[in-house]
């Protein structure tokens, strides 16, 4: 039997214990939840991106395209959150920050992000995968 696909990601990256929950729809009435306890916030972002990438092959292309559009449309944003190349994450003025990057699922992820931006990255990933995103407190088990 194949594993049902992820249809929602819910996070608690505010307080300890940190949690990332993947929801998979089993039937119209039943869902299965996979709970992760990341050691830090950026590990929670990595779990979400890696899980979506493992499940959906065109996900990364959609996520890269969405991040590029968001980067270009917001003149205040000085970096991309993910990129194919480590050097493409940051503009030339903040290229010294490239050491704060981590490979995830064949792309590079910027890791010097604050808590709010980390949640934004997961929201963008969910939007690219066309699934629901929410805070763990909004999840009704």
Q: What is the domain-level CATH number for residue 34? A: 1.20.1380
End-to-end CA distance of the chain, in Å?
Answer: 24
Query: What's the chain's average pLDDT?
Result: 89
**Which residues neighbour 110 within 8 Å (Cβ) at sequence distance 6 or greater?**
79, 80, 81, 82, 89, 90, 97, 100, 101
**For residue 61, pLDDT beyond 80:** yes
Mean pLDDT of 19-39: 93
Work out how many domains the chain is built from and give that number: 1
pTM of the entire structure? 0.89
Q: Decide if 65 contacts 108 (C-beta within 8 A).
A: no
**For residue 1, pLDDT beyond 60:** no
DSSP state of 36: E
Domain extent, residue 96, equals 6-138
Nearest to 95 by CA among 104, 105, 103, 85: 85
How confident is the model over 77-95, as pLDDT tens digits? 778 899 998 888 877 655 6
Q: Is there a domain that residue 1 lies in?
A: no
**For residue 140, pLDDT beyond 90:** no
């Amino acid at each position: 039997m194949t594993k049902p696909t992820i249809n929602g990601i819910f996070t608690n990256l505010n307080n300890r214990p940190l949690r990332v929950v993947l929801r998979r729809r089993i039937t119209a009435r039943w869902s299965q939840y996979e709970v992760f306890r990341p050691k830090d916030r950026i590990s929670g972002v990595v779990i979400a991106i890696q899980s979506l990438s493992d499940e959906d092959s065109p996900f990364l292309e959609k996520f890269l395209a969405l991040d590029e559009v968001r980067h270009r449309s917001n003149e205040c944003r000085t970096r991309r959150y993910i990129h194919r190349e480590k050097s493409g994450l940051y503009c030339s003025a903040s290229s010294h920050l490239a050491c704060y990057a981590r490979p995830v699922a064949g792309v590079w992820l910027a890791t010097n992000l604050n808590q709010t931006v980390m949640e934004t990255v997961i929201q963008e990933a969910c939007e690219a995968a066309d699934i629901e995103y929410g805070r763990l407190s909004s999840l009704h088990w």
